[in-house]
Chain A
Amino acid sequence: MRTVSLTVNDVPHEFELDPRELLVYVLRERLGLTGTVVGCDTSSCGACTVLLDGESVKSCTVLGVQADGHEITTIEGLAESGALHPLQESFHEHHALQCGYCTSGMVLAAVSLLAENPSPSEDEIRHALEGNICRCTGYQNIVDAIGAVAQ
């Protein structure tokens, strides 16, 4: 067991963690932040994407102990003072989600993309999302939702 300090959605936490414990389960099972979900066991799908110090990471590939001292943002922490993030709004307006299982990861991957590249081309958006799989939407509305916020 190791003592780990994390700030999640601006709230500081301290845990005793088994060094094997993945960040995604710390979020889901210790903090009840079930908006972050698991879609695979090969770090392929991106459903578990969160922001670590503002950059997107797949929380199924990060150990809880590796996140020690870092700031995590999950989908639950994205809205500010009750107002949805513009990307959340845009996903809604563009019908960029169906079952919604990939959505948390998609939105956070998009937040990270736009932080790095505020005006990506459609092609850049498509390539930036290569690590996030959606089986429902055929991607077009996701790409458009991100494009609309980028402009």
Chain B
Amino acid sequence: MSAPTEVEVGRAIGARVERKEDQKLLQGQAEWVDNMHVPGMVYLGIVRSPYAHARITKVDVTPALAHADVVGAWSGADIADEWQGSLPCAWLPTEDTNAPEHKPVAVDKARYAGDAVAVIAATSRGAAEDAAELVEVEYEPLPVVVDPEAALADGAPLVHEEFGTNRCYTWTLEEGEIDRLFAEADVTVSERYRQNRLIPNAIEPRAVFVTAIPANGEFTLWSTTQVPHIARVTLSGVTGIPEAKLRVIAPDVGGGFGSKLNVYAEEALALAVARMLGRPVKWTETRSEGYLSTIHGRDQVQEIELAATSEGKILAVRTKLTASMGAYLQLVTPGIPLLGAWLYAGCYDVQGYSFECTGVFTNTVPTDAYRGAGRPEATYAIERAVDALARKLGMDPVEIRRLNFIREFPAAIKAGLTIDSGDYDASLDVALEQAGYESVRAEQRARRTAGDPKRLGIGLSTYVEMCGLAPSNILGAIRYSGGGWEAATIRCLPTGTVQVLTGSTPHGQGHETSWSQIVSDRLGYEIDEVEVLHGDTAVVPLGMDTYGSRSLAVGGVALYYAADRIAEKGKKIAAHLMEVDEAQVDHVRGTFHGPETSITLKEVAFAAWTAHNLPDGVQPGLEETYVYDPPNFSWPAGAHVAIVEVDTETGAVELLRYIAVDDVGTIVNPIIVEGQIHGGLAQGVAQALYEEAIYDEDGNLLTGNMVSYLVPSAAEFPRWELHHTETPSPTNPMGVKGVGETGAIASPPAVMNAIVDALAEDGITDLDMPATPERVWRALEEARR
């Protein structure tokens, strides 16, 4: 065992504390959902449509029922009575949003390849798989549409006939005199980008396990979910199981990245089958099945225009998005592109802002949150467009950025929100210096002059993003059905240790460690004396879960305030015990100092538990809850630089260096922050260079498994070079901002700008992600013609 981490108690915030989570994970003792195994358990097998769009004319489950190990088999119609409502969509952005019914098993029509059409329960996993093959389904294939723009064309096949259109909604935001600014501009640029569809690929596949106590109508659902609390509320609505009778547990969860920020058909199905059979139920997806049943990310067409002066001052930004929803609306499908709605002017000061997004149904797996969710898309568009403007004006990408940076904070941006704090020059300065910007430019010129076929490119991304979701009143105003608060409870136990209950459920982010640091810093406990409980609605009833880089910026701040409440109550008891006036007592990190004596928080906790001698009106016990609703989003920002080499003979792109300078406010644990950025960078660079979910025109997912969809390995990445600047957020007492998504948000445009920088003189400025060798080579071939 390693030596206990040395931390100066009371100075824990900011320390490189090694993670408490690691020991069990390193020894194979994690509690994954798929580990669950109890007597009498049945396995689900799901029959999925091989067609992207087809009428279901017959489903015959009798051959499956004849299988010796099968205990139940249901078509969508057979199981329809189990549902009280559709699978949830919590965000219908407009009053007239077309929201289709979404049953866990399709009844009359399959709308994407992978749509469930029947379900089997069997006593072994093998039997469930075998029996699924025995179900006889007859389909009448229908015309298919997979491209969101094609889906809007007249005469396109309709995914949901009842709407008479594939348009789900159109949402707009306009501020300033857009038309005048564009008309009067010296120069405009008009760009069109494609956001490649991505498959999140959390390495733990999704799994569900349900136990029931039929006599009491009680159900416990173990799920690989980021959102046990949201799952409980919404699954109660789908199944009719009263919320109070449903317990949801997210044990150890192997990554999420948004893909487990959802409420899925299989969760509802497992509950329904457990209710029908009175037996425990388990389902675990295979990876390939997951590619057809777990949400995808991105898949948008972006049109962005900038109006600017001849000096390069940006006057206005106009954006139009066409976003694929896929075949149904999952938990936040329609809202995802809108999470970027305020960010299409990036960190630049503009006078006019126009944004329009149309969500479109297609015969594909539903899209939803994938790391960054809306903000990578916005950042990509504005950062590439700014480079396009610089090219048009013959300016350096650094110069144009400096000319347009927002510099006064808090900054009320034209799009309508307020950026809490930032210093964009500071991050850019560090990034340029670390990259050796001028010397890279010199080498770039030298290679050109020498006619080197390996071009050098340097790309910038100066980003700002909004995270820490979110002020509940703003969420309400944009028609999201939930709140954005988070809860924390501190329970000081009588024997000197402390429990923390957090409603923000981790799946790799290291909450147990960071939360212990906060409690240690505020209340003087040793890191190892803090036990952080999470992910079980029976243990932590209040919570809004983990997504949108909200855990620290909302849940961590709730914890900070809960500690204040502990100190407040503790002070009353301490003063009473020391027989002094409360006003004479000072609390400093776990010790209450009176004029003559002092008493520790641990002693106070014991006294609060025995309750032998408490002041009047003070209840026994020392436990406090704080529910924090943030007054603003948090706005991390930074400057990233990618340096690439592009081989003009083969199209191969090599990412030589990647420099990330991030300002995420106060850092609680640097190793965790660095880890979050590393992981985000890998996913963002992967979007730029490697990953794309591809459908053929019949709606077959061509990248249907981990062989054909390239999830990069260690061999595909360079060393990440990280640096920080620190501008504390003024909106919370710790000054923290979110960090979970910055890497994935900032990096795609840095890499693509670098590639375009390398190839612009070869005539290539229009290049989409992923910049595979083939795509780059084809672009070069076309330019040579």
Contacts and interface: CB of A to CB of B under 8 A. Distances in A.
Question: Do the two chains belong together in a single complex?
Answer: yes
Interface of A: 20, 28-29, 33-42, 44-45, 47, 74-76, 78-79, 82-84, 88-89, 91-93, 95, 97-104, 107, 122, 125-127, 129-143
A135 B202 contact: yes
- The interface residues of chain A, by DSSP majority, are classed as loop
B508 A100 contact: yes
A21 B707 CA distance: 23
A132 B713 contact: yes
B438 to A, nearest CB: 27
Contacts of B711: 44-45, 133, 135
B62 to A, nearest CB: 26
25 contacts: A34-B30, A39-B287, A44-B287, A45-B287, A74-B28, A76-B29, A82-B1, A93-B2, A99-B25, A99-B203, A100-B26, A101-B32, A101-B255, A126-B714, A129-B713, A131-B713, A133-B713, A135-B200, A135-B679, A135-B682, A136-B508, A136-B679, A137-B675, A137-B682, A138-B677
B507 interface: yes
A34 B18 CA distance: 25
Nearest to B682: A138
Q: What interface size band does chain B fall in? A: 35 or more
Contacts of A44: 287, 705-707, 711
A37 B27 CA distance: 13
Interface in B501-543: 507-510
B203 A135 contact: yes
A77 B766 CA distance: 53
Given A98-B255, A99-B254, A138 B203 contact: no
Nearest to A102: B203
B18 A76 contact: no
B23 interface: yes
B165 interface: no
Contacts of B715: 126-127, 129-130
Query: Top 5 A-B pairs ranked by shortest CB distance?
Result: A35-B28, A101-B254, A100-B25, A99-B508, A138-B678
Contacts of A137: 675, 678-679, 682
B108 interface: no
B654 interface: no
A52 to B, nearest CB: 17
Contacts of B202: 99, 101, 135
A13 to B, nearest CB: 17
A87 to B, nearest CB: 9
Nearest to A94: B671
Contacts of B28: 33-36, 74-76, 104
Contact of A37 (B34, B682, B713): B34
A73 B83 CA distance: 46
A18 B29 CA distance: 27
Contacts of B201: 133, 135
Given A41-B286, A101-B32, A137-B679, A91 B253 contact: no
Contacts of A107: 26
Contacts of A100: 21-22, 25-26, 30, 252, 254, 508
Contact of B678 (A36, A78, A130, A141): A141
Given A97-B26, A100-B22, 19 more contacts: A34-B30, A34-B32, A47-B203, A75-B28, A76-B28, A93-B18, A95-B671, A95-B672, A97-B25, A99-B507, A100-B252, A101-B32, A101-B202, A135-B201, A135-B203, A138-B682, A139-B678, A139-B714, A142-B714
Interface in B634-681: 671-672, 674-675, 677-681
A102 B86 CA distance: 35
B706 A140 contact: no
Contacts of B392: none
Given A79-B27, A127-B715, A135-B201, A38 B34 contact: yes
A134 B707 contact: no
Contacts of A130: 713-715
A76 to B, nearest CB: 5
B219 interface: no
Interface string B5-47: 0000000000000110111011111101011010000000000
Given A34-B28, A41-B287, A98 B510 contact: yes
B525 to A, nearest CB: 22
A136 B19 CA distance: 15
Nearest to A20: B126
B27 A39 contact: no
Contacts of A97: 22, 25-26
A129 B26 CA distance: 18
B27 A45 contact: no
Nearest to A122: B719
Contacts of B510: 98
Nearest to B36: A34
B258 to A, nearest CB: 12
B2 A92 contact: yes
Residue from A20, A40, A76, A93 whose CB has the most chain B CB atoms within 10 Å: A40
A38 B507 CA distance: 17
Given A100-B22, A136-B255, A35 B30 contact: yes
Residue from A76, A82, A101, A129 whose CB has the most chain B CB atoms within 10 Å: A101
Residue from A91, A132, A134, A140 whose CB has the most chain B CB atoms within 10 Å: A140
Contacts of B22: 91-92, 97, 100
Residue from A39, A42, A98, A129 whose CB has the most chain B CB atoms within 10 Å: A98
B199 to A, nearest CB: 11
Contact of B204 (A20, A39, A126): A39
Interface string B742-766: 0100000000000000000000000
Contacts of B719: 122, 140
Residue from A28, A79, A95, A137 whose CB has the most chain B CB atoms within 10 Å: A95
Contacts of A33: 28
Nearest to B704: A42
Interface string B210-233: 000000000000000000000000
B257 interface: yes
Residue from B26, B27, B675, B743 whose CB has the most chain A CB atoms within 10 Å: B26
Contacts of A103: 25-26
Nearest to B259: A135
B720 interface: yes
A99 B204 contact: yes
B675 A40 contact: no
Contacts of A20: 126
A75 B204 CA distance: 17
Interface in B720-752: 720, 743
Interface in B556-591: none
A85 B707 CA distance: 32
Contacts of A122: 719
Nearest to B510: A98
Nearest to B718: A140
B205 interface: yes
B784 to A, nearest CB: 33
B257 A135 contact: yes
Residue from B1, B255, B680 whose CB has the most chain A CB atoms within 10 Å: B255
Contacts of B677: 138
A41 B288 contact: yes
A38 B27 contact: no
B651 to A, nearest CB: 22
B606 interface: no
B396 to A, nearest CB: 30
Contacts of B25: 97, 99-100, 103
